[in-house]
Structure 1
């Protein structure tokens, strides 16, 4: 049973070639034919696309974790030496600003993605 109640069976007639084409699409995307039809009819994001989006978000998060780790390593080196040249400091500040800008853009994209996913279900 689903949240909305008992599931029903719907029989539809399609040409054999069309059915085979749909099955190939499903096989390629690793989704069920039922999912393909329901998500398409209800104008939802397909399950394989949802998984790609979540994988993208996770990858982006990992990239920023690596960047943050590098920033911490630079800070440790500077703290140990108690010195950083004006040129290095300026370069470092420019890189930090770039990261902040990218993170803001990423967060805007994520908000749009999350709203699509939330409105989708």
Structure 2
């Protein structure tokens, strides 16, 4: 499974290119703040291998409950990629999505 190019943003972490994507519209669960904001990452070359799903502690910015939310910063994405690689994510190998739950750690620079 590959991320769609439209709407994804490029980022280079430690000399390797990746693309990341945040849903513009929240899912039903995110809209009601039952589940947190998440984003997906994949390696840019070769695309279509293992996807990284990162769950943050903050709600989606488009939530319907007017809960305070913060945007996903490129520094947060870079830190998540480094942490996922350290935890065993292998972006060049096909396989199931790798889930990384940052909890309260996503706000740490």
TM bracket, shorter-chain basis = under 0.3
Greater fraction strand: 2
Greater fraction helix: 1
Q: Given the two structures, how large is their TM-score scaled by the length of structure 2? A: 0.24
Give the greater-gyration-radius structure (CA).
1
Higher relative contact order (CA 8 A, sep 6+): 2
